Amino acid sequence: MTEQDNIQDKDEIKYVRTTSAFDCGGRCPLKFHVKDGKIIRVEGDDLVDEENQLRACPKCRAIRQEIYHPERLLYPLKRVGPKGEGKFKRISWDEALDEIAAKLIEVKEKYGNEAIFLPTGGGFLSAYHFPVVNYIRLFTHFGGFSTHHGNVSSEGAVWATQTQYGSPFVGHGREDMLNSKLIILWGWDPARMNSGTDALYNLVKAHEKGAKVVSINPRYSDTDVIVADQWIPIIPGTDVAMMAAMANVIVKENLHNQAFLDKYTVGFDKFKEYVIGQEDGVEKTPEWAEKICSVPAETIRDLAREYATTKPAALMDCQGPARSAMGGQYNRGAMTLSAMTGNVGRKGGAACGGLMGIPTAHMFFGPFIVPPGRNPVEENHPNRVSVRGSLDVELRLRTRVHTNVMFDQIIEGKEGGYLYDIKFGWFACNNFLNQLGNTNRNAEALKKLDYMVCVDLFITATARYADIVLPATSMAERSDLTRPWPSGPYFGHMNKAIEPIGECKHDITIAEELAAKLGLEKFRHYEEDKTVKKLWRNTVDIKKHVKDYNKYKEDGIWRVETDEPYVAFKKQIEDLENNPFKTPSGKIEIFSERVAKINNPNLPPIPKYLKTWEDRNDPLIKKYPLQMISPHPKNRVHSELYHVEWLKEIDPHRCWINSIDAELRGIKSGDLIYVHNDRGIISIEAWVTERIIPGVIAIHEGTWYTPDEEGIDRGGCVNTLTKNAYAPCGAAALKTCLVQASKEKPEVK
């Protein structure tokens, strides 16, 4: 290369600033270099000084390969082979929409609107294009549809924070970690999972400023590598045993903040009775916990003392460990420890609760393009009851199926005790076959559907079962408003950089065109640029902060200036009388009367350690002696970006296995191994490491289910092994899973 070769002709390059709309938590500023209508480079934030830039992770840095991937869908497809085989032929939009409309009308007439199933999907979270909202609007106009309840990511944490605080806004501004003296990462790994774009860097700075960092995690995470002064490996699903033992030490040694508990909480005495053994005759000592969670009693004792006496201290729990069979207990346990030590509402502390959201610019305040309307299928359902304020997930399941058993409903229907007989499925912006438990069974369900439409950028693992696949536009082809979901505060503005590729259409356009085919005359048409600007004008919190729309649009970001980092519940702690917590008692509910009324021993009113199916006490452990966890990948957003080669090569799909477990099985790094249980078999490369506790393996979620002719999943999708089940609090129990690993191919059933 000569010195001149690599110098672009600047005059021909247009710069477009935008953000992604992924389900990743970050909305990192991106700067596309566009030449002759094509994106040729992607840069990150360069609008502010290096220290304050919101720097994007590898996923968006590689976005060009997603947008221009040779396998990206360019026109509508109709399935020509058996379901799942992946054989399709090109058809026109007219043919596709005519066929879909005819089928919808047929299903509606024959089975009613409830037979039309519309799952949600988090693949594109924004104000205008938000695909699911557009299809909800469409099917609402068409007379309704059935759907599901339960957020796969965060249901455990949502339930726990509603129970204890009555609010999901439990986060602090990330800079507030610099005020902490002790930071406990309980499962939290912001190096891999974007819990806010600036989370990792602020954690690094807090550590360098002198905060001690302790990590409690089955793995020595990427975050731990740079900040953990101490790593405490723990058996998955046993967090609350360790938390109860820490509480025991704190109470026995009188290190708890009784004044705080008296003033701001209710029910601590009940929890105290549990931890000192008055409730069930079992004292929750560190020795008791050690037998369950494998953490040495002395380590638990030391950490309890350190947490109770170092002020302020931030216990950072998250959502992952709550994605388990007794899900929400983990977040409730963490919140209770935080209250016991007076770290709620305090600078440098942390309220816990796993959600980490701050109210300013939070996704929960996201504007939706137009009210999608009320779904007649649910509005008119005889089972319908008010769920306002209720913590009973079963009430919410009276008109909707739980997310993690949505495919069971398709298979079993009313005869199997489910709500609806599903005939038609519309899957947009999700890859649920792949991302929910028991993928082999999910595939059987999709084979059983009368008719299925999928809208996506690729023929995903789910789309392989569709009758019609429609090509959607990507983030580069759209203008929109975005917002990060846990932190900031800042607002994002997406700007269209290129024209739609091939025959790709926006989801909102697909909804409009299908509405016309269905004869829905009142279905309104919206113009992208005009509506996006209107959404800025009409959305209270954006309008409040974003004063100059043109600058906001041009920069692709509007940073909200704050005097100091946001601290959750600061107002409540400063003046409880005038700012009560949004719970029935107005206080932090360590004991919840609302939960007590549900009267389910597996959903106790105080946080408790509970044994579960497929934990280490389950007799099944003899057959399947390894627990499997499935953390977020760093090179995909769940199953999105799976095709991108630049991302594949930075982190090959591998099974983390400790040397002790590997030696027992004759497994070496690089070996192709089989991981299996009664639900399925996957093949995957082994990676032998000391960075995971013995008895546990870790496989990152989101690679695509690819069964071979024998039914072995060669794509290594974790959910081929996980269970289609949910916790009593509603959490999808995807992290509770027993498996075996072997070099030899297991017998295929």
List contacts with another protein (CB under 8 A): 1-3, 6-8, 40-44, 46, 50-51, 55-58, 61-62, 64-65, 191-192, 197, 200-201, 204, 220, 222-223, 225-226, 231-233, 634-635, 645-651, 658-659, 689-694
Q: Which is nearer to another protein, 100 or 741 (CB)?
A: 741
Q: Which is nearer to another protein, 64 or 679 (CB)?
A: 64
- State in angstroms the smallest separation of the CB of 492 from another protein: 17
Tokens representing residue 525 in the block = 């048409």
Q: Which residues contact 422 (CB under 8 A, 6 or more apart)?
A: 115, 117, 146, 409, 410, 413, 449
Q: Which is nearer to another protein, 453 or 696 (CB)?
A: 696
Q: Which is nearer to another protein, 481 or 647 (CB)?
A: 647
- State in angstroms the smallest separation of the CB of 60 from another protein: 9
DSSP secondary structure letter of residue 114: G
- State in angstroms the smallest separation of the CB of 693 from another protein: 7
Q: Which is nearer to another protein, 391 or 688 (CB)?
A: 688
Tokens representing residue 234 in the block = 């723990």
- State in angstroms the smallest separation of the CB of 223 from another protein: 7
Rounded Cα–Cα distance for residues 734 and 692 (Å) = 19
Q: Cis (ω within 30 of 0) for the bond into 312?
A: yes
- Longest Cα–Cα distance of the chain, Å, equals 79
- State in angstroms the smallest separation of the CB of 661 from another protein: 11
Rounded Cα–Cα distance for residues 380 and 388 (Å) = 18
Rounded Cα–Cα distance for residues 38 and 68 (Å) = 9
Cα–chain center distance at 552: 28
Tokens representing residue 145 in the block = 């549809």
Cβ count near 574 (within 10 Å): 10
Residue 119 · residue 427 · CB < 8 Å:
yes
- State in angstroms the smallest separation of the CB of 660 from another protein: 9
DSSP SS3 for 275: helix
Cα–chain center distance at 503: 31
Q: Cis (ω within 30 of 0) for the bond into 584?
A: no
What kind and span of H or E run contains 557? strand 557-559
- State in angstroms the smallest separation of the CB of 3 from another protein: 7
- State in angstroms the smallest separation of the CB of 175 from another protein: 15
- State in angstroms the smallest separation of the CB of 684 from another protein: 19
Q: Which is nearer to another protein, 494 or 692 (CB)?
A: 692
| Cα–Cα distances in angstroms (integers) from residue 690 to residues 190, 192, 219, 669, 687, in the given order | 20, 18, 9, 12, 10
Residue 626 · residue 738 · CB < 8 Å:
yes
- State in angstroms the smallest separation of the CB of 637 from another protein: 14
Cβ count near 274 (within 10 Å): 23
Q: Which is nearer to another protein, 65 or 403 (CB)?
A: 65
Q: Which is nearer to another protein, 301 or 400 (CB)?
A: 301
- State in angstroms the smallest separation of the CB of 214 from another protein: 11
Q: Which is nearer to another protein, 644 or 675 (CB)?
A: 644
Rounded Cα–Cα distance for residues 320 and 31 (Å) = 31
- State in angstroms the smallest separation of the CB of 634 from another protein: 6
Q: Which is nearer to another protein, 43 or 175 (CB)?
A: 43
- State in angstroms the smallest separation of the CB of 698 from another protein: 13
- State in angstroms the smallest separation of the CB of 13 from another protein: 12
- State in angstroms the smallest separation of the CB of 41 from another protein: 6
Rounded Cα–Cα distance for residues 678 and 383 (Å) = 35
For residue 504, the one-letter residue type is: C
Q: Which is nearer to another protein, 227 or 315 (CB)?
A: 227
Tokens representing residue 621 in the block = 């452990």
Rounded Cα–Cα distance for residues 81 and 431 (Å) = 20
Rounded Cα–Cα distance for residues 216 and 220 (Å) = 9
Q: Which is nearer to another protein, 323 or 634 (CB)?
A: 634
First-to-last C-alpha distance (Å) of the chain: 57
Rounded Cα–Cα distance for residues 497 and 32 (Å) = 7
Cβ count near 521 (within 10 Å): 8
- State in angstroms the smallest separation of the CB of 191 from another protein: 4
Residue 685 · residue 673 · CB < 8 Å:
yes
Q: Which is nearer to another protein, 296 or 359 (CB)?
A: 296
Rounded Cα–Cα distance for residues 350 and 341 (Å) = 10
Please report where in the chains the tokens 């959201």 appear, as a residue. 357
Cβ count near 561 (within 10 Å): 6
Rounded Cα–Cα distance for residues 79 and 67 (Å) = 24
Rounded Cα–Cα distance for residues 24 and 54 (Å) = 14
Q: Which is nearer to another protein, 310 or 659 (CB)?
A: 659
Residue 714 · residue 683 · CB < 8 Å:
yes
Q: Which is nearer to another protein, 213 or 610 (CB)?
A: 213
Residue 717 · residue 434 · CB < 8 Å:
yes
Cα–chain center distance at 411: 26
Tokens representing residue 39 in the block = 């994106």
Report the residue count for the chain.
749
Tokens representing residue 710 in the block = 């024998």
Q: Which is nearer to another protein, 246 or 466 (CB)?
A: 246
Q: Which is nearer to another protein, 61 or 545 (CB)?
A: 61
- State in angstroms the smallest separation of the CB of 139 from another protein: 39
Cα–chain center distance at 15: 32
- State in angstroms the smallest separation of the CB of 616 from another protein: 17
Q: Which is nearer to another protein, 256 or 653 (CB)?
A: 653
Tokens representing residue 579 in the block = 């700012």
Please report where in the chains the tokens 């999943």 appear, as a residue. 713
